[in-house]
Amino acid sequence: MSDKKASNQMWGGRFASGPAAIMEAINASIGFDRKLYAQDISGSIAHSEMLAETGIISAADQEKIAHGLNTILKEIEAGTFEFSTRLEDIHMNVEARLADLIGPAAGRLHTARSRNDQVAVDLRLWVKQECQRVAGALKDLIAAFLERAEEHAATVMPGFTHMQAAQPVTFGHHCMAYVEMFGRDLSRVRDAIERMDESPLGAAALAGTSFSIDRHMTAKALGFREPTRNSLDSVSDRDFALEFLSLAAICATHLSRLAEEIIIWSTPQFGFIRLSDSFSTGSSIMPQKKNPDAAELVRGKTGRVSGHLVGLLTVMKGMPLTYGKDMQEDKEAVFDAAETLDLMLAATAGMVRDMTVNAAAMKKAAGAGHATATDLADWLVRNLGLPFREAHHVTGRAVALAEEKKVALEKLSLEDLRSIHPGITDDIFSVLAVQNSVKSRVSFGGTAPSEVRKQIRYWKKRLAKA
């Protein structure tokens, strides 16, 4: 096929010659939108079935079209299909091949539709299916955290604010914090699926069509809840892509926060966890090194996902209704973000299940930095009736004395403590040990092992229904 012939088939009689090489390069999207081949073929089959059912095309032509499209699907999946940049995109590549296979009947397929609603439905289908994959990966990651939380519901570790040891918590409680974070990500995915579950097919170029089509039929055939309700919005809307990138960026941010903790925890200075060789690499020059490269790459890839969100927001901010070629920039951003997020989720679930927890190192660190000072203040309020601000002041003096004596807070003698406040009794030592501290935090959502196990049971039931 000559360049001129291919161009005229694509662009129609308005253009007497083919596009220049530069125009072809900037205009063609087949290099990346070929990923939509399955969705494009599914949409075309559904459209042809509707056209036949409504009497717009004959049943015989529809049968030829469906057979030809299924043949093309097999060719693409077998790797024998020849994609052409001269044919711009996946839609025209498929349609041109369909014409080769079945002849003039192929020309009837595009009745009552445009590439504008065609690409909208293809990408929306792809994003919806990707959201379902992400939901599955998030459920697996949450399950991995629940396993570790159950195992370490009573394993004491320091809790931090400002990266300074603050109060003792348990590693199980820390794991459950990520269950909450990734649970919200799962909720966002489910919400996004609900909002994008409308089919734009049949909106045509922008104004709908004069043919008596049945958009509810094609929506149902493609697994959508219903058709979209405004033809202008149908072809210009990319909220579903933006929302996917938004939830992907938030999820990636959560993954990055966890990756940062894994990196810190695995340093010799912390020694809280150890990753196996499966998720680590060595140094080319320092034989003693074991680098948490999987976690570092998860942390690094977050910027890539967030960048795609900013990029598409920037594309869409200046788009008047309805369609503009600028919107071709949506696909590479979505495809790359999806591939990146899938990999990040899989790697993170692997690291969570793989890590070896050093409970002794965690417990030792939990007692550092006078981490039970708040417990002392609470005891003074509860047992001596002091206002909290006064209790806070008394506790501060106790911490200063412990630092002066270079001992842990719980190592101060009763006489030392009574010199600060005479009402203190030896019962105070029941709350100054880190193990007792975490057991006392029985408020709903607190770090007490009993409360952690309660939340684990809740999330196991919730996950089973998700």
Instruction: Please identify every residue annotated as catalytic.
Output: 162, 283
Which H or E element spans position 226? strand 226-227
Show the tokens assigned to 457. 């049971």
Cα 113 to Cα 91: distance, rounded to the nearest angstrom = 12
The secondary structure of residue 267, as a DSSP letter, is S
DSSP, residue by residue, 374-406: HHHHHHHHHHH---HHHHHHHHHHHHHHHHHHT
Cα 72 to Cα 98: distance, rounded to the nearest angstrom = 7
Cα 164 to Cα 158: distance, rounded to the nearest angstrom = 9
Is the bond leading into 322 cis (omega within 30 degrees of zero)?
yes
Cα 414 to Cα 365: distance, rounded to the nearest angstrom = 24
The secondary structure of residue 106, as a DSSP letter, is G
The residues, ordered by sequence, that sit 6+ positions from 345 with a Cβ below 8 Å of its Cβ are: 134, 137, 138, 140, 141, 251, 255
Cα 354 to Cα 248: distance, rounded to the nearest angstrom = 24
DSSP, residue by residue, 233-252: HHHH--HHHHHHHHHHHHHH
Phi, psi at residue 392, to the nearest 5°?
-60, -40
